[in-house]
Amino acid sequence: MNTLTDNSAKTSSTKILVLGGTGGTGRQIVKQALARGHQVTALVRSPEKAGDLNGARLVVGDVSDEKALREAVTGQDAVVSALGTPASPFREVTLLSIATRALVQAMKAEHVSRLVAITGMGAGDSRGHGGFLFDRVIFPLLLKKVYADKDRQEAIVRDSGLDWVLVRPSVLNDKPGRGEVQALTDLSGFHGGSISRQDVATFVLDQLRSDAWLNRAPLITW
Instruction: Read off the pLDDT of residues 31-88 as tens digits, 9 standing for 90 and up.
Output: 999 999 999 999 999 988 898 899 999 999 999 999 999 999 999 999 999 999 999 9
pLDDT at residue 152 above 60? yes
Contact present, 100 and 69 (Cβ < 8 Å)? no
Rounded Cα gap, residues 58 and 213, in angstroms:
29
Rounded Cα gap, residues 149 and 100, in angstroms:
10
First-to-last alpha carbon distance for the chain, in angstroms, is 9
- Residue 198, CA atoms < 13 Å, CB-side half-sphere: 11
Kindly report the number of other CB atoms within 10 A of residue 9's CB atom: 9
How confident is the model at residue 7, as a pLDDT? Answer: 52
DSSP 145-170: HHHHHHHHHHHHHHTS-SEEEEEEE-
pLDDT at residue 10 above 80? no
Confidence of residue 6 (pLDDT cuts 50, 70, 90): low
pLDDT at residue 164 above 60? yes
How large is the average pLDDT for residues 2-7?
Answer: 77
Rounded Cα gap, residues 161 and 173, in angstroms:
32
Q: Whose CA is closest to 64, among 112, 26, 103, 91?
A: 103
How confident is the model at residue 12, as a pLDDT? Answer: 75
Confidence of residue 1 (pLDDT cuts 50, 70, 90): confident
Residue 66 backbone dihedrals phi, psi, to 5 degrees: -65, -30
Rounded Cα gap, residues 209 and 207, in angstroms:
5
How confident is the model at residue 9, as a pLDDT? Answer: 52
Instruction: Read off the pLDDT of residues 92-106 as tens digits, 9 standing for 90 and up.
Output: 999 999 999 999 999
Average pLDDT along the chain = 96
How confident is the model at residue 136, as a pLDDT? Answer: 96
The SS3 of residue 49 is helix
Instruction: Read off the pLDDT of residues 22-44 as tens digits, 9 standing for 90 and up.
Output: 999 999 999 999 999 999 999 99
Percentages (nearest 5) of helix, strand, coil residues in the chain: 35, 20, 45
How confident is the model at residue 120, as a pLDDT? Answer: 98
